[in-house]
Each structure stands twice: as C-alpha cells, then as structure tokens.
C-alpha cells in the first residue's frame, strides 16, 4: 500500500526496520507496484535496498514502467541492471509494452538500446500488432507505428489467429492508424499471398462493417483495387457491407439470433452504402456461397440498402444455394418493410426453399414483434397457411414447436388445420406437449385439436408429456407436466394407450423417477400393472432405476385407502 500510494517516508521506515520486501502478492512485487504508479523516489529506495530486479511476474517492473510511460523509472531500472531485452513467459518485452502503451519517448530510448524489433510473443503478435491494438489510441501511437514501419516491420504479418495489424486498427475504429497503415502499404485486397482474414474468414472490411465503423469502411473500400474482386468464399466487398450493417441480437427467451437494426448514424451508413454503389465496377448479382448482396440485405436490413440495390438492378428472382429467395430472407429476418418493398416489385411469395419451407415457415420459426408484423403482411397477400414442407410440417407445426404463442393464435384465428401430422406422425398438439408449451396446448385443445392422434411410434400427447424428463426432473418440469397431465386427462386423454413398445405414459414417469407425476397418473387410475413388450411394468421400471419412493408408492397404492388423492392437491 505504501508503494502503491508513493509514501516514501513510510517505505523508508519499513526498510529501516528490515521489513521483507520480496513478498509477491497477486504476482506483483513492491517494485512492480511503485514502477507502475510512477513513484520514482520509492523505486530508488527499493533499488538501494538490493531488491532482486531480475525476478518478473506477469510483467516485469521494467515492462510496466514502459507501458505506463515512466521513462525516468525505466532508465534507473536499466542502470541497476534490468535487462531491456528480457521477455516474460508470454513473450512480452519492455519494447512490446512501450508500443502497446504508445510512449514514443520510451520506444525511441529502447530502440537505442538495440533491442530486437522483430520478435513475436506466444500469440504471434509483433510490435506493430501491439501498437495497433488500442481502442483509444494516443497521438503517440501514430509516431510509434511510423518508427516501426521505418524499421521495415511487415504490415501484413499475421499472428496465430490470422490477425494482421490492419485488422486490429479496423476493429478498433482507429481511423488515423488505418490511414497510416494503408499509406504505408498495408494490403486490404482479399486475394494476397498471405491472407488478411482471421481464422473465421473475416477480413478487416468484414469486421469494420459488422461494427458499423463507417469511415474506416470508406478508407478500406478506397484502397481495394477492384471492388468487385472475389475473396476465397466468392464474396465481394459489397457482400461484406450488406451483411455487416444488419447486426443480430440474442432473443432473451430462446437464445436465437434475431435481427436488431441500429438507428444511430444512419445518415453515415446511407452515405457509405451510396459510396459503395456509385462505382459501376460492382457486380450487383455476384453470388457468394449462393447469396447475392440483395439476399444479405433482405435478411439483415435495413431498408435503404435494399432500395439502393434494387435501383441498381439487383435481381429479386434469384435464390441462394438453399433455395431461399429474397422474400424468404426478408421473412426469416423479420423485415416487414423490406417484404413490402419486394411485394411492390412483384416478388414471388410462393417460392419454397430446398426443404420445402415457405416464407411463412421462415416467419413462424422466430418469435419477436417484427415476425408478427411479417406474418400479417403475408396473410394479407392470401398465402396458404396450411402449406407443408418436405417433412409435411405446416407453419403451425413450426410455430408450435418454437413456442411462439402469438403466431399460433394468429394461425388458428385463420382456421388453420390443427390436426395435420408430419412425416413422424406428430401433430401440432403432440409437439406442444413434447415441448411443454402449456398456453399453446390450451389454445389448440380449445380449437378442437384431436387428443387421440398418435405419432409413428403410436405415442399420444400424454406420452409426449411424460417422455424426455430430466433425471431427476426439475421443479419447473414437474409443475408443467402435472398441469399438462391434468389438462389432457380432462380432455379424455387415454392413460392406458400403449405405444409400439407396449409402454404407457406411466412407464416413462416411473423411469424418470418423478413421484409427483406418478401420483398424478395413479390417482387417475393409470394401470401400473400393464406390461410392455419386454414384460416390464411401470413398477419394474422404477425398481430398475432404483427409484425407491415410487416403488413404495406403487406397492402400497391399492391397499392404502388414504391414497384417495384429489388431483388438484398435487397440481397446486
């Protein structure tokens, strides 16, 4: 604490009393702390006490002084024998720290010490990487980068993850550093002998677009020799621009990626897009991995880039490798405004993808307010709400399985067929029960969903509810399943119906070890003596899984007159 706050007098008293100064707390020595905080007089006191400065922690005292720009401390440490060329276990040297910290005076001083300028750390980062990796660069960073470039450090050298210095500057929106690197020969073109893309295939332009760094994007586009040139994925700069400016967010309930359209600096975005489209060199319909720029713009939005692409003659009739049309992309992205534009351009609303999914299927796969708006646009165009995909699923199957209650409600209001089954023989009610979407189950039952339909394994909605429980079940599962069991029984669900293996719902409940659900089934007179095709009863399932509480319950149930339970007791 005394070293951290620069209390020279207290430090002196502690030293005179032979206080141990070589203890390392959190891998930081007193000398490290004093050096990092710029307390020169405290550093001198510690050095005069014969402290071992050859020991380094995550960073050495010399490194932290270099990073924080304390040149006087750096010099006195070197005078006392600190090695300016010594790297720590991660390959960080004082010069590396100075470049990252952006102190030109220290960089120049260390340069005079003849330190190695061409080493890389364990990540493959060079000094130029360190200088460019700054979200808030100082003016001195430009001077540091200039000095390094004067010493012929390679602007296109990539680290282990494929990042070049230009990559860091582009991601960090460091406009002046991007300018400097480009002026000093950094290669932004997609096809080079050494790829400038990271391990995920993102170029500096991709990342600048994704982070909406408008002016960096302009700089990079200016430096691309041929803006229609294709990268290794068959992608042009325009693909990057179209995809990057529609970011996505996680749905809080489902965890799904859904579009989120930024409104800030929209004028700047329009300017950048116009700038990109002005050149007739751009190939508007170039296909990258099956997608044109218009496909990407329709999916990610917002509207202005779609309008510009259409004005430039982009073909709305093309489908990507998955058979997805521009309409499909707009629906899957939740972009009702874009969908309306495509409808005005007489886009075909009936084109299905390679799996037979219609634009309405794509809409029902997601849940958010924007998808409800897309749904309304489609049904107002009289699309078929009962259309089936290759798996024989209707949009109702998709919305039900995903738990999208508002979309399910809008579908049933339009008299959708609620009792159609897919290739697995599963009805929307079966899927709702399997996923335990209580409100959707109630809605489907109230619209005459057939509770007696079974899937290809002859499993009923009651089987679906009781199957797939966690072992042991969570409290949330127990509450949901008990309620659904009650609800399905009230609608005359058959507790004794066996599936292809001869199992009734009680078999599954006993195997999962959920006493509360077993009780709920038992009091409704489920036949727990029924044998499956292997001769196993529900009681046998409980014994085999060592669920002692269920075994005791089933063995004593018939003889115990006190087991005349009221089902509502268990449900609530």
If you write DSSP's letter for every residue of 266-299 in order, what string do you get? HHHHHHHHHHHHH-TTS-TT--BTTB-HHHHHHH
pLDDT at 268: 42
Alpha helix ranges (H) inside 504-547: 505-512, 515-522, 538-544
* Of 243, 254, 176, residue with least CA distance to 207: 243
Which pLDDT does position 228 carry in this prediction? 58
pLDDT category of residue 144 using cuts at 50, 70 and 90: very high
Lowest mean pLDDT among 206-210, 249-253, 261-265, 415-419: 261-265
In this structure, which long-range contacts are made by residues 559-565, counting pairs with CB atoms below 8 Å and at least 24 apart in sequence? 563/522, 563/523, 564/523, 565/519, 565/523
Closest to 308 measured CA to CA, from 330, 332, 278 = 278
Q: Which of 428, 340, 328, 429 is nearest to 380 (CA)?
A: 340
- State the pLDDT at residue 274: 45
Rg (CA), the chain: 34
Phi, psi (deg, nearest 5) at residue 25: -105, 125
Distance of CA 339 to the CA centre of its chain: 26
- For 516, residues 6+ apart whose C-beta sits below 8 A from its C-beta are 478, 482, 570
CB 400 within 8 A of CB 408: yes
Last residue of a domain, one of 456, 475, 510: 456
> Which CATH number goes with the domain that contains 424?
1.25.40.20
For residue 301, the 8-state DSSP code is -
Q: How confident is the model at residue 301 (pLDDT cuts 50, 70, 90)?
A: confident
Asked if residue 240 is part of any domain, the answer here is no
Lowest mean pLDDT among 183-187, 467-471, 568-572: 568-572
| Rounded mean pLDDT, 319-348 | 95
Burial class (CB within 10 angstroms; exposed 0-12, middle 13-18, buried 19+) of 369: exposed
| Cis omega (within 30 of 0) for bond into 302 | yes
CA–CA dist 176, 216 (Å, integer):
9
CA-wise closest residue to 510 among 479, 478, 466, 474: 466
Task: Judge whether 231 lies within some domain.
Answer: no
Rounded to an integer, the average pLDDT of 79-96 is 82
Residue 252 has pLDDT above 70, yes or no: no
Residue 318: CB atoms within 10 A of its CB come to 15
Average pLDDT over residues 102-112: 91
Question: Is the same domain home to 133 and 172?
Answer: no
What's the pLDDT band for 383 if we cut at 50, 70, 90? very high
pLDDT surpasses 90 at 412: yes
Angle between helix 214-223 and 237-244 (nearest 10): 170
Looking at residues 232-260, what average pLDDT do you find?
54
In-domain check, residue 355: yes
Among 48-52, 179-183, 543-547, name the one with the lowest average pLDDT: 48-52
Q: Is residue 237 part of a domain?
A: no
> Which of 108-112, 161-165, 409-413, 521-525 shows the lowest per-residue confidence on average (mean pLDDT)?
521-525
Cβ neighbours around 7 below 10 Å, total: 15
pLDDT of residue 257: 47
Structure confidence at residue 201 as a pLDDT band (50, 70, 90): low
- Domain match, 271 and 378 both: yes
Question: What's the confidence (pLDDT) of residue 56?
Answer: 56
Greater confidence (445 vs 279) lies with: 445
- Using an 8 Å Cβ cutoff, are 363 and 378 in contact? yes
Q: How far is CA 433 from CA 36, 140, 229, 503, in A?
A: 61, 64, 51, 18
Residues 67 and 97 placed together within one structural domain of the fold: yes
Of the pLDDT bands very low, low, confident and very high (cuts 50, 70, 90), residue 44 is confident
In this structure, are residues 517 and 552 in contact, taking their beta carbons and an 8 Å threshold?
Answer: no
- Mean pLDDT across the chain: 81
Rounded to an integer, the average pLDDT of 344-368 is 94
pLDDT of residue 264: 31
- Within this chain, do residues 359 and 487 fall inside the same structural domain, yes or no? no
- Which of the given ranges, 216-230, 232-246, 347-361, has the highest pLDDT on average? 347-361
What pLDDT was estimated at residue 204?
80
pLDDT in tens, 390-406: 999 999 999 999 999 99
Nearest to 500 by CA among 425, 419, 428: 425
The torsion of the CA quartet 132, 133, 135, 137, rounded to 10 degrees, works out to -40
Shared domain check, 260 and 125: no
Can you tell me the mean pLDDT for 425-435? 97
Residues 353 and 424 in one domain: no
* 232 assigned to some structural domain: no
DSSP state of 502: S
Considering only 83-92, 186-195, 262-271, 407-416, which range has the smallest mean pLDDT? 262-271
What pLDDT sits at residue 128? 92
Q: Is residue 377 part of a domain?
A: yes
CA distance 478 to 480: 6
Task: Give this prediction's pTM.
Answer: 0.67
Domain boundary among 367, 383, 399: 383
Contacts for 356 with CB less than 8 Å, ≥ 6 apart: 388, 389, 390, 391
pLDDT of residue 25: 55
- HSE-CB of 280 using CA atoms within 13 angstroms: 0
DSSP H/E element including 248: strand 248-250
Query: Which has more pLDDT, 281 or 531?
Result: 531
**Whether residue 188 sits in one domain with residue 208:** yes
Owning domain of residue 567: 459-572
- Whole-angstrom Cα distance, residue 305 to residue 286? 16
The answer to whether 309 touches 284, Cβ cutoff 8 Å, is yes
- Looking at the fold, whether 91 and 4 belong to one and the same domain comes out as yes
Instruction: Spell 48-83 as b/e; 16+ CB within 10 A means b.
Output: ebebebeebbebbbbbbbbbbbbbebbebbbeeebb
356 and 275 share one domain: yes
Q: For residue 191, is pLDDT > 60?
A: no
Measure the CA–CA gap between 371 and 336, rounded to whole angstroms.
8
If asked whether residues 258 and 361 sit together in one domain, one would say: yes
Q: Residue 213: CB partners within 8 Å, gap ≥ 6? A: 170, 173
Length of the chain: 572
Q: How many independent structural domains does the chain possess? A: 5
The band of 51, judged by pLDDT with boundaries at 50, 70 and 90, is low
Count other C-beta atoms under 10 Å from residue 273's C-beta. Answer: 22
| Distance linking the first and last C-alpha atoms of the chain | 58
Question: Which pLDDT does position 231 carry in this prediction?
Answer: 60
The sign of the CA dihedral 418, 419, 423, 429 is positive
Domain match, 464 and 533 both:
yes
Q: Assess if residue 230 is contained within a domain.
A: no
Q: Is residue 242 one of the residues assigned to a domain?
A: no
Say yes or no to pLDDT of 226 above 90: no
User: Contacts by 530-533 with C-beta closer than 8 Å and gap 24+?
Assistant: 530/496, 530/498, 530/502, 530/504, 530/506, 531/502, 532/498, 532/501, 532/502, 532/503, 532/507, 533/501, 533/502
H or E segment at 330? helix 326-332
**Quick one: pLDDT at residue 88?**
73
Where is pLDDT greater, at 31 or 269?
Answer: 31
Residue 47 pLDDT level (bands cut at 50, 70, 90): confident
Looking at per-residue pLDDT, the higher value among 190 and 558 belongs to 558
Q: Do residue 354 and residue 275 come from a single domain?
A: yes
DSSP 3-state of 147: helix
Q: What is the mean pLDDT of residues 9-27?
A: 64
Predicted local distance difference test score (pLDDT) of residue 21: 60
Res. 484: pLDDT tops 80? yes
Choose the final residue of a domain: 91, 120, 153: 153
User: Where is pLDDT greater, at 509 or 39?
Assistant: 509
Examine the pLDDT at 566 and tell me if it is beyond 60: no
pLDDT range class, residue 323, cuts 50, 70, 90: very high
Question: Which strand (E) or helix (H) includes residue 327?
Answer: helix 326-332
């Amino acid at each position: 604490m005394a070293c951290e706050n620069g209390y020279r007098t207290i430090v002196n008293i502690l030293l005179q009393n032979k206080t141990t100064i070589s203890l390392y707390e959190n891998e930081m020595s007193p000398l490290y702390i004093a050096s990092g905080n710029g307390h020169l007089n405290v550093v001198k006191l510690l050095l005069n006490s014969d402290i071992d400065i050859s020991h380094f922690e995550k960073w050495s005292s010399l490194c932290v002084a270099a990073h924080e720009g304390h040149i006087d401390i750096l010099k006195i440490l070197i005078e006392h024998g600190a090695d300016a060329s010594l790297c720590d276990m991660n390959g960080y040297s004082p010069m590396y720290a100075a470049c990252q910290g952006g102190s030109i005076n220290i960089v120049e001083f260390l340069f005079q010490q003849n330190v190695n300028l061409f080493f890389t750390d364990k990540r493959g980062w060079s000094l130029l990487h360190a200088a460019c990796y700054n979200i808030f660069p100082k003016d001195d960073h430009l001077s540091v980068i200039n000095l390094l470039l004067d010493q012929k450090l390679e602007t296109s050298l990539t680290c282990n993850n494929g990042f070049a210095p230009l990559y860091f500057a582009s991601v960090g929106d460091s406009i002046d550093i991007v300018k400097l690197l480009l002026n000093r020969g950094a290669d932004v073109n997609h096809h080079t002998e050494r790829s400038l893309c990271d391990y995920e295939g993102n170029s500096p332009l991709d990342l600048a677009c994704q982070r909406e760094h408008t002016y960096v994007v302009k700089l990079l586009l200016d430096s691309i020799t041929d803006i229609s040139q294709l990268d290794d994925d068959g992608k042009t700069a325009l693909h990057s621009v179209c995809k990057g400016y529609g970011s996505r967010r996680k749905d809080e309930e489902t965890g799904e990626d859904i579009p989120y359209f930024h409104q800030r600096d929209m004028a700047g975005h329009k300017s950048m897009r116009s700038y990109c489209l002005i050149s007739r060199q751009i190939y508007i319909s170039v296909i990258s991995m099956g997608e044109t720029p218009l496909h990407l713009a329709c999916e990610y939005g917002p509207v202005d880039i779609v309008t510009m692409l259409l004005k430039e003659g982009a073909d709305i009739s093309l489908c990507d490798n998955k058979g997805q049309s521009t309409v499909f992309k707009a629906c899957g992205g939740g972009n009702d405004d874009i969908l309306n534009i495509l409808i005005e351009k007489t886009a075909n609303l009936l084109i299905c993808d390679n799996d037979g999914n219609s634009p309405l299927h794509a809409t029902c796969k997601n849940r958010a307010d924007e998808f409800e708006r897309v749904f309304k646009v489609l049904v107002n165009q009289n699309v078929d709400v009962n259309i089936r995909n290759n798996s024989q699923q209707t949009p109702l199957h998709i919305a039900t399985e995903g738990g999208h209650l508002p979309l399910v409600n809008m579908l049933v209001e339009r008299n959708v067929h609620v009792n159609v089954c897919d290739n697995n023989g599963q009805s929307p009610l079966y899927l709702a029960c399997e996923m335990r979407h209580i409100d959707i189950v109630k809605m489907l039952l109230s619209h005459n969903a057939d509770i007696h339909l079974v899937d290809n394994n002859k499993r009923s909605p009651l089987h679906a509810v009781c199957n797939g429980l966690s072992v042991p079940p969570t409290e949330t599962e127990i509450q949901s399943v008990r309620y659904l069991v009650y609800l399905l029984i009230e609608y005359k669900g058959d507790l004794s119906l066996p599936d292809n293996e001869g199992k009734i719902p009680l078999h599954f409940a006993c195997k999962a070890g959920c006493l509360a659900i077993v009780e709920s089934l038992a009091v409704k007179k489920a036949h727990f003596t029924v044998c499956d095709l292997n001769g196993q009863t529900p009681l046998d399932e409980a014994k085999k899984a060592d669920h002692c509480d269920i075994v005791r319950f089933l063995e004593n149930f018939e003889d115990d007159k006190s087991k005349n339970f009221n089902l509502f007791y268990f449900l609530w």
